[in-house]
Amino acid sequence: MSINGNPVSDFGLLDERQSFWQKLRKTQTAQIMLVLVVITAIFSLLAPDTFFTLFNLRNIFINIAMFAILGIGMTFVIITAGIDLSIGSMLVFSSVIGCKAIVASGGQGWGSTIAGLFACLILATLLGAINGWLVAVANVPAFIVTLGSFSTVLGLAQITTGGIDLSDATDVMVDRIGFGNVIGQIPALGVIALVCVIFGGILLHKTKFGLTTYAIGSNIEGCRRVGINVNRHLVLVYALMGLCAGIAGFLSLALYQQTTIAGQSNTALTVIAGVVIGGTSLFGGYGSMFGTMIGLLIPIVLQTGFIIIGVVPFWQNVVVGVFLVAAVYVDNARRAAAEGGGRSLKKRSSKESNLNAKGNK
Amino acid sequence: MKKNRKLSAVAAVSAVALVFTGVGASSANAAGEKITFIQGVAGDAFYITMGCGIAEAAAKAGAVVTTQGGAKWDATVQKPVLDSVIASKPQAILIAANDKTVMQKPIESAIEAGINLAPTTNSDKPRPRFSAPNEIKTAISKAGTVILCT
């Protein structure tokens, strides 16, 4: 698929005329990657025996798994200039329904595990599609739709369980997925997340679906006028977000061995912060899967690093907050520079001339 | 492009500065036996009180306590905290586990990492949990023990 000359090609990673490294260097991802490397180096120097160890790297790999999977869907949603605050609740409700399906099918083997998996995926995808329909067709702002479903879906999970966590994860899923290794010390959970992220990255950067996602984020009205079925695509994007929440719900059940009804209330904000730190614009049309993963890694590396060197836990909040604002500031400054002032000047001058025209009247 | 580099340099330097400020605040644990207390939730008066008791008992046993905890009473938040504490290889870990099901395997992984288990609570005989320096002394002598305060 040739996309030269496409308006989206301005946004770095999609431009096929540049080499991969040229594209990467220009992005915020490269800068944020540098920050991650610096942080890792500092902690490795401060705690040489404990930070850069197999045990700790393995933990980081496991603890990022669910956030990474949620980050896939969130990157798509934010690139369309949307937002999804309901992922924590979708995760919890899908793991509740997963538990119910496991109990209904009985047994502790792969059969009921797969039943549980499908229950998680189908439910969360449907919930995501409902979010998408409300955003695209009913025209309710995404913030409100997902704030509403955050509360509604969590409520449904509480009604289903009476507010008490279910712990019906099968033995296989706990032993083989939650705490299992693929080869040697490589955790299954991390590998599943990595595979999902690679699929997500290909879907975003190499397919028509991904290109349409960028296009809608850049110029939704333009997309409508050239005949793209914007509503259908938005429903699909939010359904994809739901699917990711469903996978995360299943993995959460495997890792924690029970539903986490009281937990996950901050999950959406953690994931959104990671996506934004990774260089995806809240205004849509710009972002990358790789950036999201780096953005999600930073808070996790900071947390484990602070704990290992013995810093009071509150410092993580301070640093992540600073990073979030700094990332958006750098992103805005970089984009203004990349556009060479040409575009923004043009925009400004057309606005000014409009103002002048009005003033003249 | 030049401006960008400057910006990212500023971001990196401020990150470094923040990290070092943090280190200054916690350099106390350089001496003595190192034990870590994982609170049920950070910033809660109950666990701060518990932490005072632990610090007092630890001081008598010649140990220094580092306190860690999740920002919420949430086992999904506490698990990564415990993982990192295990990675930091303290002589002993004292943990107020948020949830017995969720924290079961992570605590088992501490035991698998060569750490022993010593529950301190006794359901039919309630007692002040961390007024006993001997308890902590024993924990330290076992070269890494998890004490569960549930």
CB A68 within 8 A of CB A293: yes
Instruction: Please answer yes or no on whether A330 and B19 come within 8 Å at the CB atom.
Output: no
Instruction: Please answer yes or no on whether B22 and A312 come within 8 Å at the CB atom.
Output: yes
Choose the closest CB to B29 out of A49, A252, A310.
Answer: A310
Amino acid present at A136: A
H-assigned helices in B61-132: 75-87, 100-112
CB B93 within 8 A of CB B110: yes
Cβ of B31 under 8 Å from any chain A Cβ? no
Give the distance from residue A37's alpha carbon to the nearest chain B alpha carbon, in angstroms. 10
Cβ of B43 under 8 Å from any chain A Cβ? yes
Instruction: Please answer yes or no on whether A257 and B105 come within 8 Å at the CB atom.
Output: yes
* pLDDT surpasses 80 at A117: yes
Number of alpha helices (DSSP H) and beta strands (DSSP E) in chain B: 5, 5
Whole-prediction pTM:
0.80
B52-109: pLDDT as tens digits: 888 888 888 788 888 888 888 888 888 899 888 888 888 778 888 888 788 878 887 7
A223-252: pLDDT as tens digits: 999 999 999 999 999 999 999 999 999 999
Cα B56 to the chain's mean position, in Å? 16
**Buried b / exposed e across A174-187, counting CB within 10 Å, b at 16+?**
bebbbbbeeeeeeb
For residue A50, is it left (φ>0), alpha (ψ between -120 and 50) or beta? alpha
Tell me how far apart the alpha carbons of residues B89 and B87 are, in angstroms, rounded to a whole number: 5
- Contacts of residue B85 in chain A, CB cutoff 8 Å? 307
Instruction: Please answer yes or no on whether B71 and A313 come within 8 Å at the CB atom.
Output: yes
Cβ of B48 under 8 Å from any chain A Cβ? no
Choose the closest CB to B101 out of A35, A50, A257.
Answer: A257
pLDDT of A208: 95
Percent over 70 (pLDDT), chain B: 53
Whole-number mean pLDDT of chain A?
85
Instruction: Concatenate the DSSP letters of all residues of A15-49 into one string.
Output: -TTS-HHHHHHHSHHHHHHHHHHHHHHHHHHHSTT
* pLDDT surpasses 50 at A53: yes
Instruction: Please answer yes or no on whether B102 and A260 come within 8 Å at the CB atom.
Output: yes
Tell me how far apart the alpha carbons of residues B132 and B129 are, in angstroms, rounded to a whole number: 7
Tell me how far apart the alpha carbons of residues B140 and A230 are, in angstroms, rounded to a whole number: 63
pLDDT of A237: 97
Count of residues making up chain B: 150
Choose the closest CB to B80 out of A165, A303, A318.
Answer: A303
- Contacts of residue A313 in chain B, CB cutoff 8 Å? 42, 68-71, 81
How far CA A26 is from CA of A204, B3, B96, in Å, comes to: 19, 13, 47
- Contacts of residue B70 in chain A, CB cutoff 8 Å? 313
Q: What is the mean pLDDT of residues B33-40?
A: 83
Cβ of B55 under 8 Å from any chain A Cβ? no
- Contacts of residue B25 in chain A, CB cutoff 8 Å? 311-312
Tally of CB atoms within 10 A around B16: 15
The C-alpha R_g of chain A, in whole angstroms, comes to 22
Amino acid present at A242: G
pLDDT of A26: 62
Spell out the residues 6+ positions from residue B126 whose beta carbon is closer than 8 angstroms to its own: none
Chain A: residue whose CA lies nearest to B27: A310
pLDDT of A17: 57
| Highest-pLDDT range among A181-190, B3-12, B16-25 | A181-190
pLDDT of B136: 57
Tell me how far apart the alpha carbons of residues A337 and A335 are, in angstroms, rounded to a whole number: 5
Tell me how far apart the alpha carbons of residues A263 and B8 are, in angstroms, rounded to a whole number: 35
Tell me how far apart the alpha carbons of residues A155 and A160 are, in angstroms, rounded to a whole number: 9
As to burial, measured by CB atoms within 10 angstroms (0-12 exposed, 13-18 middle, 19+ buried), residue A81 is middle
pLDDT of B97: 81
Nearest to A216 by CA among A225, A207, B128: A225
Chain A: residue whose CA lies nearest to B39: A313
Computed from CA positions of residues A155, A160, A164, A167, in that sequence, does the dihedral angle turn out positive or negative? negative
pLDDT of A352: 45
**DSSP assignment letter at B38:** E
ipTM: 0.77
CB A213 within 8 A of CB A95: no
pLDDT band at A108 (very low <50, low <70, confident <90, very high): confident
